[in-house]
Structure 1
Amino acid sequence: MKQVLVFLTDGFADWEASYVCAELNKPNSGYQVKTIAVDLEPKTSMGGLRVLPDYDMSTDLALLDIPMLIVPGGTGWSDPINVQAKELIQHCFEREAGVAAICDATTFLGRHGFLEQHNHTSNSLPDLKLGAPNYSGDEHYVEAQAVVDRQLITANGSAAVEFTKLILEKLNVYQGEVLEQWYGIFKNGIISA
């Protein structure tokens, strides 16, 4: 079974990956969610959930078949210890694995030059430029809740459902009408008869 990795920092925004993790961990999805962090110490989310990472940055990434890396936002992306995440992100881009970043994780991607070659979004363009002073991808910035461009998915912090929808579609977990029904339920509370 392929493992989708979720990168955790102390202060990660637990709700931003909650919808997608629940769907990917269903027995028929073909995927299993595993967590990774800079070390194996427990990480505490903004909501107070303590999570023990499955992997750390000493893991031999070549041994993992990673179809997607999910990078939630949160309060930890300005902590210098988490700069190590760029190694994992680069690994995924080089192997054409998906990288899905939301909220302040998009600022981290912008800070390290991962956005310039893809259409992308973030919390706002001014916020992105403030948090990533070397960012130069203005011409690829899209004012949208969530954006997919090749293997990169980005979303603003209010778009956990849209973020999940794009990931589920990219990983071929749900498609077409089934995907739209899922989205309708979680975005608008609409259950089709």
Structure 2
Amino acid sequence: MKNVLVLVTNGFADWEAAYVTAEVNKPGTGYQVKTIAVDLHPKTSMGGFNVLPDYSLQDFSFDLPFSMLIIPGGTGWKSEQDQRLKQLVQYCVDHQISVAAICDATIFLGKNGFLDHSKHTSNTLPYLKQHAPDYKGEQNYIDAQSVSGDDLITANGSGAVEFSRDILSRLNVLEGEALNRWYDIFKVGFVKG
């Protein structure tokens, strides 16, 4: 069983990873979803869900095999983050483990140089530049709901369904017509005839 890690912080946007984690965690996918945080204290989402992290960055063993790191947005990304988060993302980059970040989590990636050399998106380019002053990836910015690059998937705050579609495709959980049907159900509310 392969692990997909979801980074949880206080104030994380619970809905931004909800579509994809429900699919990835289904029996038969070969994946299980686990949560990781800076410590093992419960984290409260924007919607009021309390999550007890499975793993802490304080004692995380990078020997744990995982296939992707998903980073939801939320209320805390504009403030300074624990440097262990940067180390986790750097580990993913160095080992070709996909990182998927949505909404304000892209600010964290922009502040730390992870968007400088890969195609990506965010809430808007001016917004990203305002909140990540060290960001230097403007030439790789694409104005889209979700952008899937080499080992990086990014999305804006209104692109949770597209973000999920790109993750499901990257992990080969759904593909082809099954992926298209899944997308149509969640994007337009029905399967197109």
Bin for the TM-score computed over the shorter chain: over 0.9
Identity value in percent: 58
Once the two structures are superposed, what CA deviation does each residue of 1:77-135 show, in whole Å capped at 9, x if it has no partner? 13434442111100111110000000000011000000011000000000000110011
Moved over 4 A (4+): none
Structure 2: 5+ residue stretches without partners: none
Shift of 1:60: 3.8
Whether the 8 Å contact between 2:78 and 2:104 is mirrored in structure 1 is no
CA distance in structure 2 between the partners assigned to 1:66 and 1:59 by the alignment? 16
| TM-score normalised by length of structure 1 | 0.97
Matched residue, 1:39 = 39
| TM-score normalised by length of structure 2 | 0.97
Once the two structures are superposed, what CA deviation does each residue of 1:6-53 show, in whole Å capped at 9, x if it has no partner? 001100000000001100110011100000000000000000000000
Secondary structure of 1:67's counterpart equals strand
Secondary structure of 1:34's counterpart equals strand
CA distance in structure 2 between the partners assigned to 1:106 and 1:60 by the alignment? 23
Matched residue, 1:132 = 132
CA distance in structure 1 between the partners assigned to 2:177 and 2:104 by the alignment? 31
Whether the 8 Å contact between 2:125 and 2:141 is mirrored in structure 1 is yes
Whether the 8 Å contact between 1:38 and 1:81 is mirrored in structure 2 is no
Structure 1: 5+ residue stretches without partners: none
User: Would you say how many aligned residue pairs link Structure 1 and Structure 2?
Assistant: 193
Q: How does 1:1-193 map to 2 (within 5 A)?
A: 1-191=1-191
Counterpart AA for 1:115: L
TM-align CA RMSD: 1.2
Secondary structure of 2:62's counterpart equals helix
Shift of 1:190: 1.4
